[in-house]
Amino acid sequence: MASRQPDVSEVERVFRDVSGQAVATLVRLFGDISLAEDAVQDAFVVASERWQDGIPPNPAGWIVTTARRRAIDGLRREIRGRELLSDVAWAGSAADVYHQEEIDERVVKDDQLRLVFTCCHPALRAEHQIALTLRLLGGLSVDEIARSFLVTEAAMAKRLVRAKYKIKAAKIPYRIPSDADLPLRLRSVLGVLYLIYNTGLDDPERAPLRAEALRLTRSLVGLMPAEPEAAGLLALLLLNEARVGARRVGDDLVLLRDQDRNRWDRALIEEGHAIVRACVRRDRPGPYQLQAAIQAVHCDAASYADTDWQQVVALYDHLLLFLPTAVVKLNRAIALGEVGGPGAGLDAIEATAAELDGYHLMHAARGEMLRRLGRFDEAQRSLERAAEMAPTEPERRFLARQIRTLVIADTGRPGMEGVEGAPTLEGH
């Protein structure tokens, strides 16, 4: 029995929720991503007309069934249809496929996993992985993806065409990787989802990408409940998302030490904490779980001064065993500056300087440590270098304020009170 009459936005929401399932199932059936995508889009048009009396109890099954029938009808009208129909990977005849009404939930989950790993295959360029993931699994339109990445719709359409051609030309398999290949391939999938989230973090025009990354990560956790790193990424995104509302006042950035913690979303924090605790009980640590644990420590503190910085440093030490990068070393150095003082922090930052000379946050962090040591001329030069390299206007404005405050302090006039710390990847 159908429910009350839905509005357009509700139909679109349902479609976005189930389109990834539908596309994944049709790719398995027909082995053609473009055919599957077009058929699901056609099914959505039909749904918009026929769901006037309410959304059916099993909208995913409805969309899959309708899309499958439209795909088969289209193939029957084409000369190549006979060849493709003979290859349909479904138990039974083409008629069985046409009239199949129900879809098995376990099969659908497997189909989605196959499509996730196909979209994020290492043979594809990173930007193609992101675009395909948002298009096929996220259900976003080409125009929505283009606007989120600040490119034209035509440019994004070409990117998607090239990605699908690459899958076909390289004969990238539509399957879940073997146990031996899974860890490396899963890392690629998680990296794409994390990049999608971070792309929408500090740009209001790209904010919808955060919601899509969270939704897709939740889906991945549902598909792979035994994978602790998938859960770790979800916890990391939730704990980051909980603080988004306090990261800005108007167009200005607000660092962690100065954020109004009453504006943090406690429900998201509680959910993220629960996932982190479950990961700890599993005792199968990985880089996303450890990054989530670091964020959990920050979110657990009643104030910046109450942060357990020694635990943060210890977690970074553990993270370095999995992810020995200069950026992780930089973040550890900043935390070390809170434990051992700015001298210890500066020494640790200097150890990363050669590798991160082109990274504005290293210069910003170095400038803050120098400022705390009273070495104002050096601090100003570091902050000016950071401002020159900062990629966004809000960061440039923030660093310009830091420099002005520093100049006031250096001349002996009032104004040193309330100087903010340097921004880091954690949002300090």
**DSSP SS3 for 308:** coil
Question: How much is the pLDDT for 361?
Answer: 95
pLDDT tens string 266-314: 999 999 999 999 999 999 999 999 999 999 999 999 999 999 999 999 9
Q: Using an 8 Å Cβ cutoff, are 331 and 316 in contact?
A: yes
How buried is residue 365: exposed, middle or buried, by Cβ count under 10 Å (0-12/13-18/19+)?
Answer: buried
* Portion of the chain with pLDDT greater than 70, in percent: 86
Class of 325-428 per CATH? Answer: mainly alpha
pLDDT tens string 147-188: 878 789 999 999 999 999 999 888 888 888 887 788 878 988
Phi, psi of 249 (to 5 degrees): -125, 110
pTM over 0.85: no
Q: Which residues fall within 8 angstroms of residue 410, CB to CB, at 6 or more apart?
A: 376, 377, 380
Structure tokens at 65: 């069934």
Question: How much is the pLDDT for 43?
Answer: 87
- In the chain, what are the domain boundaries? 1-103, 325-428
Q: Which of 229, 226, 328 is nearest to 285 (CA)?
A: 229
pLDDT tens string 131-152: 998 888 888 888 888 887 878 9
